[in-house]
Structure formats: structure tokens, C-alpha cells
Amino acid sequence: MFDRIKYESTLVTFTEVPDEISLCLNISGCPCCCEGCFEPWLREDCGDTLTYDVLAGLIKKHPHITCLCFMGGDRYYQDIVDLIKQGKKDFPKLK
């Protein structure tokens, strides 16, 4: 179902969302080409496919996180919304 979304890397951070321990996923395939972009390589179709099973595995690997943060993903907005909705059912503590 979510076989179009790819992520290039992940990072657990305290700084992206205030008062949260965030698992940040860098989503590739960005169509925006913003001037001064910090991560222009994310314009490419690169990385691993982000299925729901992969996301659930990442969440389980980091049980201390309180928040998911998708960095990019503009091209796959509705797919990411659907992925989040499914994740909220299985991991209701996450924001």
C-alpha cells in the first residue's frame, strides 16, 4: 500500500519538536527544489521503501520516542497521512 514512499535516513532528536523525543524520517523524492535547501539530495528517488511494517519496526526499535516527524514527503502527502493514521491505531502514545 505504501510502496511509493522512500526514506533516506532516520534520526532521533530532542530539537525538532519542542518537549518531544522525535524519530525523524528523511523522505526522498521531494519535488519542491526550495532555494537554500539543506538536503538537496532528498530530491532524488533514493533510500529504502517505507512500508508500514518498516515504520512499525523503527518505532519498536526506539521505544523511548514520543513523536514521529516526517521530513519532506510533499510528493506523497496523502500516503504519509494514511501511514500516520494506521500508526496511531497501533502506537497511540505517539504524536
Q: Which residue in this structure is represented by grid cell 524519530?
A: 23
**What percent of the chain lies above the pLDDT cut of 70?**
97
Q: What is the pLDDT of residues 27-56, one digit of tens each?
A: 999 998 889 988 898 999 999 999 999 999
pLDDT, tens digit (0-9, with 9 covering 90-100), for 11-20? 999 999 999 9
Q: How far apart are CA 33 and CA 43, in angstroms?
A: 7
Q: Are the beta carbons of 30 and 46 closer than 8 angstroms? A: no
Q: Give me the mean pLDDT over the 71-81 stretch.
A: 88
pTM of the model: 0.88
